[in-house]
Amino acid sequence: MISTKGRYALRVMVDLAQQDRDGYIPLGEIASRQEISEKYLEIILKILVKEKLLKGLRGKGGGYRLTRSPSEYTVWEILTLTEGTLATVACLAPNAEDCARSPKCRTLPMWKGFDKMVYEYFSHITLEDLARGSATF
């Protein structure tokens, strides 16, 4: 299940993609539009700034903005950054220890196929698609 952190990160990124790319958007404005508490939003924005998806500026005229064009961000990138992993089962998570059962696991190919579908689905939807409402699902 995608947590509120992942869902809110997507909402914030879409919000910023819909704004003037030249200026910084204040935290309070984003929080108000998205109906997210400023305190929780700060946690999410800190992650996005640290990973260089956003640029933050403190002080008067400060706020947040995208570091690239909305077409250059994918839903996959944003979700995996905030969620850590979208792996269906623990043995497919990044850096998972080798499972002794994997050579004889009859369900592993199914989980791999499902994870591949999730990756392909989310990696083909851009922030621009969501901001414009042009993504076809």
Reported as a single tens digit per residue, the pLDDT across 106-120 is 999 999 999 999 999
Q: Can you read off the two tokens belonging to residue 41?
A: 């939003």
CA 39 → CA 25, 36, 84, 91, distances in Å?
Answer: 16, 8, 21, 34
Residue entry with tokens 């790319």: 21
Q: What is the pLDDT of residue 134?
A: 73
Sign for the CA dihedral angle at 8, 126, 46, 88 comes to: positive
Output the pLDDT for position 135: 64
Residue 78 has what DSSP assignment?
H
Banded pLDDT at 61 (limits 50, 70, 90):
confident
**4-42 pLDDT per residue, tens:** 999 999 999 999 999 877 789 999 999 999 999 999 999
CA distance 18 to 123: 20
